[in-house]
Amino acid sequence: MEAIIMLVLMFAIVYFLLIRPQQKRQKQIREMHANLQKGDDVITIGGLHGTIDALDEDKVILLVNENRKLTYDRSAVREVVNQN
């Protein structure tokens, strides 16, 4: 009986320290990707800074230095720096 209680307790600790925070972070990332808009200043996972020029369901076109346009997957956006 004690072994079962210890096993459940260990699972609860792992869940609240590792699994739940990761799920919360993934939810925030999905919401950020869903709320991207034209004109947002973003940083990609590769460290590229740019402004969203156009977007669709899967792709984002970023406007970077000297009006150059680069196409990235929406999932490549790490963070929004200045949301309009």
Q: For 38-62, how does the pLDDT look when each residue is reduced to its tens digit (9 = 90+)?
A: 999 999 999 999 999 999 999 999 9
pLDDT at 20: 95
pLDDT at 28: 95
Task: Give the integer Cα–Cα distance in Å for 2 and 33.
Answer: 45
CATH of region 1-82: 2.30.30
Which residues does residue 61 pair with via DSSP β-bridges, in sequence order? Answer: 54, 71
Q: What are phi and psi of 57, to 5 degrees?
A: -65, -35
Residue extents of the structural domains in the chain: 1-82
DSSP string, 70-81: EEEEGGGEEEEE
Burial class (CB in 10 A: 0-12, 13-18, 19+), 50: buried
Amino acid, single-letter form, for residue 18: L
pLDDT at 27: 97
Question: Which residues of the chain are modeled with pLDDT < 50?
Answer: none
